[in-house]
Amino acid sequence: MTVSAQVTPGSVPPAAFEEQEAIAGRSLGQLAWMRLRRDKGAMTAMITLIVIIALAVFAPLITRMLHIDPLSFDDKAVSQDGGLPIGPFGGMSLAHPLGVEPGTGRDNLARLLYGARVSLFISFSATIITCTIGVLVGIVAGYRRGWVDGALGRFMDIVLAFPLLLVALSMAPVLTQRLQSMGLSGNGGRVLYLILVISIFGWPYLARIVRGQVLSIREREFVESAVSMGAGTSRILFREILPNLWAPILVYATIVMPSYIALEASLSFLGVGVLPPTPTWGAMLADSVRYFVVDPAFLFFPGALLFIVVFAFNSLGDAVRDALDPRTGRV
Amino acid sequence: MAKAGLRAVVFAAVGALALAACGSGSGTSPSSSAGGGATTATSGPQKGGTLYILTNEKQFLHLDPQRNYTGTDLAFANGFLNRTLTAYKFAPGDGGAQLVPDLATDTGTATDGGKTWSFTLRDGVTFQDGSPITCADVKYGISRTFATTVITDGPTYAIQDLAIPTDAKGNSVYLGPYDTSSKNDVAAFDKAVTCSADNKTITMHLNQPVGDWNYAMTLLEFSPVPKAKDTGEKYDDNPVSSGPYQIENYTKGTSLTLVRNPKWSQASDPYRHAYPDKVVVQFGLDPSAIDQRLMADSGPDQTAVTLGGLQPENLATVFNDPKYKDRRFNGYDPYVRYLAINTAKVPNLKQRLAMMAAMDRAAYRTIYGGNFAGDLADGVIKPNLAIDYKPTNLWTGLLGQNIPDNGDPTFAKQLIAQSGAKMPTITYDYPNTPTQSKVASAVVASLGKAGITVKPNPIEPGQYYGVILDPKKADELMYAGWGPDWLNASTVIPPLFQPNGGFDVSQYNNAAFNAQINKAKATLDRTAQGAEWAALNVEAMKDGLVIPTLFGKIQYLVGSKIGGGYIWAPYGCMPFGDLWIKS
């Protein structure tokens, strides 16, 4: 019998054992993965995401193969009477498979592919930072309790009380300037700024969830026994308690990731996003809403892609939660 | 002075004529009658109703007359609130360039070869409190311009041209009405601007002859302000009306409501008709929403116009659908749009010329709507200044070879190679709007093809001109637009290319060029003067001061019950003060 080192017996719900009685010797992770694999919706979502991420990663290759470019203007593709794309569905043609941007004739497909790189990079990075800070603060606050918990709790309240969009807008010029003087000019600074802003205001939500979980976990027997056996605080936090938190963390990450893509979109929409001519989904959406009556295809493609990614992440998040914690059945 | 417009941020000064060859207005503008500046329409203008003016701006930049220097804002304030000595006729097409008397009985009398100008006020003209408008009020209004620390952003023709001595630094010895120190030479001002014994005739003495000084009187800089009601900087919020309407309520960000001024009399004001009973300006609306509302044309929006023009994305819809044909307008505005090159930051001529050669001007025009955007420009003087305009051949050989509309990166690379220096990284300043962001992309892409690295620097539109007019903050390349203050390139070349010219974004200071400007200013023969301005325009292009992009056009859509609409050439907008509501 292989005993999973990182999973303490107390953390495995009895229900899970009953269900899987015939097959012995699987770790919690393996069990969860098995359940996830049986979930068709989750697998579809996961494959969709993998495809989109692959498209983003290989964007330069794909655009070169299709002879499209996100930055080149094409004034033959748009009308000289108003700048709208020539041709049906926003100027769809062999040369421009998803049509072109009104006014400039830049290729929508190329811009969507390159935009995915920026948008996904920002949301992935912000999610990782948010989760790291959130878990660290939450776990310490929940375990230490007392004044540490009080102080961290108030600090979280303060951060949560800031109106994110207002602060992001007002800090943008100052912070980007500061990043510039640190040698990060142009888009590097802008992208870092977006990641920082999203992370700074994102972590308290997870920290609160984690703190709540830790408050109950720390009273469990395996923690007490670890304490009585003289384990150090960091061992208790990261070897005993943390493994029991993966479910909420993963669920939170999959739910928050799409909201960060959307947040990047709204920050770009409000003009503190990435500089032109670099495309992002947010900037493309911001631009396309003005055209929703006259050129709906221009709004449809970035909108649909954002919808698909958000939907896929959310379904995956749900499925991961179900897989990790089968007691909470599907609604 | 800076105008954050809907379609474009244009540095606005008051305009001049519509392009003679092109006319203006594609809609069913009423034909103009011959006399008195009156407009007659086929179905007949009538009084009554509420006129709505929709804008995405949060407020009028300035309602203080001496500080108002934005094309549309001037057209608005002059039409409803502030009377001026002279005004542009309410007429479509070329007729809009005609100067007509407003507060004055005629368009002024020049003596001493154009060095002295007098205007006599009409009988019965009053402010909204009923007190008569006298020469002293006009004189006081002019004096406010000199208080440059309080009265900011306005035109400065009074400071430049009135015969008032300057100190060693070149600043006027008169410091305006608020400065009570002994340094302030009030006597110098009293000598330059005098009132007749009956307080009805104002006489202005200039430091050199200005043949068309009476055109400057159309600027609100020269409109009356009652000294007793002047609140200095705060006058902006509650200016005293001399026109047919007065402010009932002004809530910045929301609305401005004008109601009839009971003290105004039609007999004293043949220029204005004051058709609507009420005028409501709605601020802070989304530009797309404004267009959608006007296209839908329901309820009160039937009597609505926009302050600025149509958004580029709606041009095709509005101009292709016949249902809009009676309420859409397309015509030339007074503005030239260009990218200003900061000569202080790019001192190398060949490098400046390389930027001009590389720029994809066709892309710029397409972004603004192609044929709706206007014509590709070849200089800073627009053909509407018929006497001063001459083709510069900028793109057809002036720089050594033909440069196509899409730019010539190869030629640009040659120029950079000839420059003998490393091309610096170019930072491009622009107001952060969706359309301007696309222009920034075009700048980055086309200059990039010539190996020039461009960093876009978006600036909040409300602060844009404040930033680029500050030499410490201005970067290498900047979006800009300029319209002449009146029909003379003396209101184009000097402000743009002379130190302290008012809009010297290129930060150009060339002694020989300045000398030629002063010579042209002093040339009284208008044809000879026009040739001098045209030559200076060519000179400015050869010296790579700006990349001219567009001789602009503007498009408007108005509600179906708006009567009297046309593109009013002097200001490139609707003739707000002469619109009427159909029953």
CATH number at residue B229: 3.40.190.10
Provide the β-strand partners of residue B4. B9
What gap in Å lies between CA B255 and CA B53, rounded to an integer? 10
Confidence of residue B32 (pLDDT cuts 50, 70, 90): very low
Nearest to B294 by CA among B498, B112, B560: B560
CATH 1.10.3720.10 fits A114-323, yes or no: yes
Q: Are residues B274 and B345 in the same domain?
A: no
Chain A CB contacts of B406 below 8 Å? 75
Residue of B nearest to A284 (CA): B434
What does the pLDDT look like over B110-166, one tens digit per residue? 998 889 999 999 999 999 999 999 999 999 999 999 998 899 888 888 998 999 999
Q: B313 to chain A, minimum CA–CA distance in Å?
A: 6
* Pairs across A and B, CB distance < 8 A: 106
Could you tell me how many residues make up chain A?
331
Q: What confidence category does residue B418 fall into, taking pLDDT thresholds of 50, 70 and 90? A: very high
**Residue A68, token pair as written in the block:** 């499209």
pLDDT of residue A184: 63
CA pair distance A269, A257, nearest whole angstrom = 18
Q: What is the pLDDT of residues A83-132, one digit of tens each?
A: 888 888 888 888 888 889 988 889 999 999 999 998 889 989 999 999 99
Asked whether residue A49 carries a pLDDT value surpassing 70, the answer given is yes
Chain B residues near residue A276 by CB distance under 8 angstroms:
437-438, 440-441, 444, 456
Higher pLDDT, B136 or A246: B136
Long-range contacts of A12-21 (CB under 8 A, 24+ apart): A13/A325, A13/A326, A13/A327, A15/A326, A15/A327, A16/A326, A19/A326
Residues B101 and B240 in one domain: yes
The pTM assigned to this predicted structure is 0.80
Q: Looking at A88-92, A290-294, B19-23, which range is the least confident one? A: B19-23
Mean pLDDT, to the nearest integer, of B227-232?
94
Residue of B218 and A254 predicted with greater confidence: B218
Mean pLDDT score across all residues of chain B? 88
Domain of residue B249, residue span? 60-64+81-282
Q: Do B316 and A294 touch (CB under 8 A)?
A: yes
Is residue B516's pLDDT more than 50? yes
* Pairwise CA distance, residues A1 & A25, whole Å: 6
Q: How many domains does chain B have?
A: 2
Tokens (6 digits) for A39: 């979930």
DSSP readout, A228-260? HTT--HHHIIIIIIGGGGHHHHHHHHHHHHHHH
Query: What pLDDT was estimated at residue B229?
Result: 94
Interval B47-100: pLDDT, tens:
999 999 999 888 888 999 999 988 889 999 999 999 999 999 999 988 888 899
The CA distance from A4 to B133, in Å, is 95
Give the number of other Cβ atoms within 10 Å of residue B453's Cβ. 13
Asked whether the beta carbons of residue B441 and residue A106 sit closer than 8 angstroms, the reply is yes
pLDDT in tens, B254-281: 999 999 999 999 999 999 999 999 999 9
Percent of chain B at pLDDT > 90 equals: 70
Mean per-residue pLDDT for A294-298? 88
Binning pLDDT at 50, 70 and 90, where does residue B3 land? Answer: very low
Exposed/middle/buried for A109, CB within 10 Å: 0-12, 13-18, 19+? buried
How many CB atoms are closer than 10 A to CB B263? 15
Does A104 contact B455 at a Cβ distance shorter than 8 Å? Answer: no
| pLDDT score, position B302 | 96
Query: Going by DSSP bridges, is the β-strand pair B304-306/B50-54 parallel, antiparallel, or unpaired?
Result: parallel
Query: Which ranges of chain A does DSSP label H, i.e. alpha helix?
Result: 14-19, 28-38, 40-57, 59-66, 88-91, 108-144, 146-161, 164-181, 186-217, 221-228, 233-235, 246-269, 281-288, 296-324
CB B39 within 8 A of CB B45: yes
Q: State chain A's mean pLDDT as an integer.
A: 82
- A83, A277, A294: residue with CB nearest B441: A277
A108-144 and A281-288 helices, crossing angle to 10°: 120
Helix (H, G, I), strand (E, B) or coil at B119: strand
pLDDT given at position B48: 92
Asked if the C-beta of B316 comes within 8 angstroms of chain A's C-beta atoms, the answer is yes
- Let me know if residue B312 belongs to a domain: no
**What HEC string does B521-583 produce?**
HHCCCHHHHHHHHHHHHHHHHHCCCEEEEEEEEEEEECCCCEECCCCECCCCECCHHHCEECC
pLDDT of residue A328: 53
CB A138 within 8 A of CB A210: yes
In angstroms, the separation between the Cα of residue B343 and the nearest Cα of chain A is 23
Domain assignment present for residue B252? The answer is: yes
Cβ separation A104–B314 shorter than 8 A: no
Q: Does a structural domain hold residue B27?
A: no
Of B314, B316, B455, the CB nearest to A186: B455
Residue from B321, B364, B366, B479 whose CB has the most chain A CBs within 10 Å, to mutate: B366
B356 lies in some domain: yes
Is A289 in Cβ contact with B288 (below 8 Å)? yes
CA pair distance B242, B351, nearest whole angstrom: 52
Kind plus residue range of the DSSP H or E element containing B478: strand B477-482
Question: How close A135 gets to chain B, by Cα (Å)?
Answer: 37
Whole-number pLDDT of residue B357:
96
Task: Note whether B239 and B339 are same-domain residues.
Answer: no
Amino acid at B277: D
Residue B449, H or E segment? helix B434-449
Q: Do B447 and B514 fall within a single domain?
A: yes
Give the alpha-carbon dihedral of A278, A282, A283, A284, to 10 degrees: 100
Instruction: Report in angstroms the alpha-carbon separations of B298 from B12, B54, B559.
Output: 32, 14, 9
Residues in chain B: 583
Q: Determine the 3-state secondary structure of B11 from DSSP.
A: strand
Query: What's the pLDDT band for A326 if we cut at 50, 70, 90?
Result: low
Contacts of B369 in chain A (CB under 8 A): 81-83, 103
Task: Quote the pLDDT of residue A313.
Answer: 85
Residue B498 included in any domain: yes
CA separation for the pair A279, A284 (Å, rounded): 7
Q: Chain A partners of B320 at a C-beta cutoff of 8 Å?
A: 81
> What are the structural domain ranges in chain A?
114-323
Q: What tokens appear for B509 in the block?
A: 């200071």
SS3 of chain B: helix, strand, coil, percent, to 5: 30, 20, 50
Could you tell me whether strands B477-482 and B245-251 are parallel, antiparallel, or unpaired per DSSP bridges? unpaired
| Best mutation target, A71, A74, A104, to test chain B (most B CBs within 10 A) | A104
DSSP character for A41?
H
> pLDDT at residue B345 above 90?
yes
Whether residue A302 is preceded by a cis peptide bond, meaning omega within 30 degrees of 0, is no
Residue B407 lies in a domain: yes
pLDDT tens profile B171-210: 899 999 999 998 999 999 999 999 999 999 999 999 988 8
Q: Are residues B503 and B359 in the same domain?
A: yes
CB atoms B367 and A103 under 8 Å:
yes
Tokens at B515, concatenated: 């000398």
- Residue B163 in domain: yes
Spatial distance between the Cα atoms of A168 and A312, rounded to a whole number of angstroms: 28
Question: Does residue A268 register a pLDDT over 80?
Answer: no
B370 CB near a chain A CB, below 8 Å? yes
Question: Do residue B254 and residue B382 come from a single domain?
Answer: no
DSSP assignments along B206-255, one per residue: BSS--TTHHHHTTSGGGS---GGG--GGGGGTSPPP-SSEEEEEEETTTE
Which pLDDT score is estimated for A21? 54
Specify the CATH number for the domain of residue B432: 3.10.105.10
